[in-house]
Every structure is written in C-alpha cells, then in structure tokens.
Structure 1
Amino acid sequence: MKKHLLSLLAATALLASCSDLKKPEEKDQLSEATADTAVVARDGQTVGEVAANAGAAVENAWDMTKANLADVKLEEIDLPEISVRGDDRYNVYALEEKVLFDTDKAEIKPTATRALSEISSSIARRYRGNEVRILGFADSRGDKDYNRELSAKRAAAVKDWLVKNGQMPADKVSIEPMGEEAPVASNATAAGRQENRRVEIAVLK
C-alpha cells in the first residue's frame, strides 16, 4: 500500500512538471510578446517608436522653410490663374483667393471648378498616390486668430473638393492653416494683400 502511494505521488509530480517543459527562452519570448514594449523591430525599436519616427519623418519631409521654389511650366496647366513652382522635392500649385472664394467666405465658387480640375488632373498624371498638403494663407488685416481660422476652413474646402471631385485619397491629403504667415507680397498695399490671400496645393515628389 505504501509502495502504491509513493508511485501515485511520483506520477503526480511528473504531470506537474510537464506543464513547465518549455525552454527558458521560449517562455521569455511568450512573456515579451504580451508586453506593450515587447514587439521589437529588427533595429531594436518598439513598434510605438517606429510609428513615432515614421510620423516625424513624414512631417519633416514637409519642412518647406528652406525650399527654393522656382517657376515651373507644365504642359497640362494652361490657365493663367494657376501658378506652379517647384524644386527637387516639391511641386506647388497656387491659386489666389479671388479664383476660389468670395471675400471672408470659405465656400468654393462654382467658377473655380476648371482650375481645380486642371490641378487635380496634373497631380494624378505626375504624382498619383503621393502625399498632398493644402496650405491656406491670409493677409495681415483683422484679427490674427480669425485669419488663421479662415485659412483653415478654406484649405479644408479645397481638400473636400479634391477628394470628392478629383478622386484624391483622403488619407493622402492634409491641410495646414498658415494664416498671416509667409506673405509673398507687402500687406501695405491692396495688390499685395490680394496676393497674400491664396491657397497652395503642394505635392511631395
């Protein structure tokens, strides 16, 4: 009877040890896989770090402060109200406010359709699938916050038009309200202020 009891205890111990048969490194891998910081890329970065760095890289790619943009002639752009500038990283299509909007409004005029169609066709032809950023600009008259808000609404309106009518993927188009920043002419004159009230559609090559 005693011998039978000892055999039973030995069998129980063996079964208990079977649940811990995994190699130490396998158990380490399992515990790592369940931790938020455990999923590691080949270079040792966590997934969160990789995503953050990728986002920073895209944002840095849009740093146009040092861009040296020169006038560009594209055969498919023939409307005088569209200007195109570019360098080895960007192409920028620009339209003055009066082409797109009434004063202090953010609704696109029906007459702007041809110009926006020409721009969207050019982008589809040359840079299909590339990142696009729409920048809204204002002159320096009035409240600074109001000008920034208006430029944001106008940039958003252009984005909506390009997505709905120009078949651009919404996730490839971003907006940036510039407000009074980066004037291209003097705000001291009516003509200069008119030039500063504009929308630019930039494409990352």
Structure 2
Amino acid sequence: MAQLDVQPKNSSPWWIWLLLAIFAILILFFLLRGCNSKTTVVSTTDSTKTIAVTKPDWNSVDFNSPVITDPDITDKDIVLSGTDKYTIYTLGENILFATDQNNLQGSADAKLKQIAASLNKRFKDAPIAIYGNTDSTGTGEHNADLGGWRAKTVKDWLVANGIDGDKISLHTFGESKPVASNETAGGRQQNRNVQIVAFPDSK
C-alpha cells in the first residue's frame, strides 16, 4: 500500500495581520478628517457671501445729489440732499469745529440733535457713514487726518445720543473732494464740511 506524505499547511505569521489592521485604521482616520475639513470650508464660504450681500456700496453715493427737504430739519445750516436710496446731511466744519480743531463747538449740539432725531425717525436701522472734508490749507496728509478725526468726533456724539455705533462707518476725503474753489475764503469755507449719509437701501 502506498504511503501518503501529507504536510500541514503553513499559516501566515500573526504580525502580518496586525500590520494590515493598523494600516486600515490609519486610512479610515485620514478619510474622516478630510471630510470634516471640507464641511468647515463650505460653511465659512457661505457665511462670507451673506455678509457681502448686506454691505452698502458707499462708492455709489453721489455727493452732488439734488437738495431735498425734511420737515424735522429746520436749521438752515443743515443741508439735505440725496436720492431714493440714501440721504446726505451736510454741516459746515466751521459750524461744528473751530479752525484746525476737532472738538465740537457749543453751537454744534443743537444742530446735531436735529440730525439725530431725523436719523432715529427715518433711518432707525440703516447703515450710516460719516465723511470728513477739509480745504487745501496745510498738507494733504494732515487734512486727511483732520477729516478723519472730525468724522470720529461726530460719530462719538451720535453714539452718546442714541445712534447705534455698530452701524456707523468713518471716512475721510480730506482735501480731495472740494465742492468749491480753494482759491477764495468762501470756497475754502464750503469745502470744510462733515457729511452724514444714511443708506437704508443696502441691497
């Protein structure tokens, strides 16, 4: 009778299975982390788009807009202009401030109170921008700074009198946007002004 030589089958070493298990766990870990990163990026992008849609386009404001009236504004030193999208309140800097200063004069209080009352009545939730303008006396850098400081002074007054400061942005044109000639005293006086722009149509 023939003898059968049957050898037992060799099994794979245990450490090969251990390495395969570790490798599979690592792949699973990196896949899950990659998915979480993608979700975060999408969420941030969507949030940014929402903010951009609600921001007013201050560059679209035409400061030569037609003069308009408001029954609540009776002070003749306050000039109103604008369109159906925004209203501009203009006050001469010489009325609000002494020459080359950024502290409000005593007469400014009553005028700013009229503007604040009008803003609260007509533009309660509207974004507001304050622009400071100067004549060309002095350096351009100094005038840009002065316009900015005067705009901030007006903002601080409005906030102290009930206007939401989070809705107010500050801008300065300095001497760069004259409305009259800087060659005459009268023209320079016109160029020294502060403009408060309410922009309810922010879409």
TM-score, length of structure 2 as denominator length: 0.77
Question: Of 99, 106, 126, which aligns to 1:103?
Answer: 99
Unaligned runs of 5+ in 2: 1-13
The CA distance in 2 between the partners of 1:124 and 1:172, in whole Å, is 12
SS at match of 1:128: coil
In structure 2, the residue matched to 1:115 is 111
Deviation at 1:34, TM superposition (A): 3.9
Q: What CA deviation, in whole Å up to 9, does each residue of 1:118-170 have, x standing for no partner?
A: 001101100101100000000112111001110110000000000012x1111
Residues in 2 aligned to 1:158 and 1:182: alpha-carbon distance in whole angstroms: 19
Aligned partner of 1:51 in structure 2 is: 48
Question: Which runs of structure 2 are paired with 1:2-21 in the superposition (5 Å)?
Answer: none
1:38 is aligned to 40
Write the distance in 2 (CA, Å) between the matches of 1:32 and 1:130: 40
Q: Could you tell me which residue of structure 2 aligns to residue 131 of structure 1? A: 127
Change (3 A) 1:56 1:149: farther
Greater C-alpha Rg = 2
- Number of aligned pairs? 180
Query: In the TM superposition, what is the alpha-carbon distance from 1:67 to its structure 2 partner?
Result: 6.3
Partner of 1:44: none
Question: CA–CA distance in 1 between the matches of 2:126 and 2:171?
Answer: 17
CA spacing shift, 1:68–1:111, aligned 2, 3 Å: closer
- Determine the C-alpha separation between the residues in 1 that align with 2:46 and 2:177: 33
Indicate how the Cα distance of structure 1 residues 108 and 52 shifts in structure 2: closer, same or farther if over 3 A, else same: farther
1:66-77 to 2 correspondence within 5 Å? 66=62, 69-77=65-73
Following superposition, the deviation at residue 40 of structure 1 comes to: 1.4
Identify the residue that residue 164 of structure 2 maps to in structure 1.
Answer: 169
What SS does the aligned partner of 2:143 have? Answer: helix
Q: Percent identity?
A: 33
Q: For residues 33-67 of structure 1, what are the alpha-carbon distances to aligned partners after superposition, in whole Å with 9 as ceiling and x for unaligned?
A: 345x73415xxxxx2475277348625x1113556
Which residue type is aligned with residue 194 of structure 2? V
Deviation at 1:180, TM superposition (A): 0.8
| Structure 1 position 141 matched with structure 2 position 150 | no
In 2, Cα distance between equivalents of 1:96 and 1:151: 12
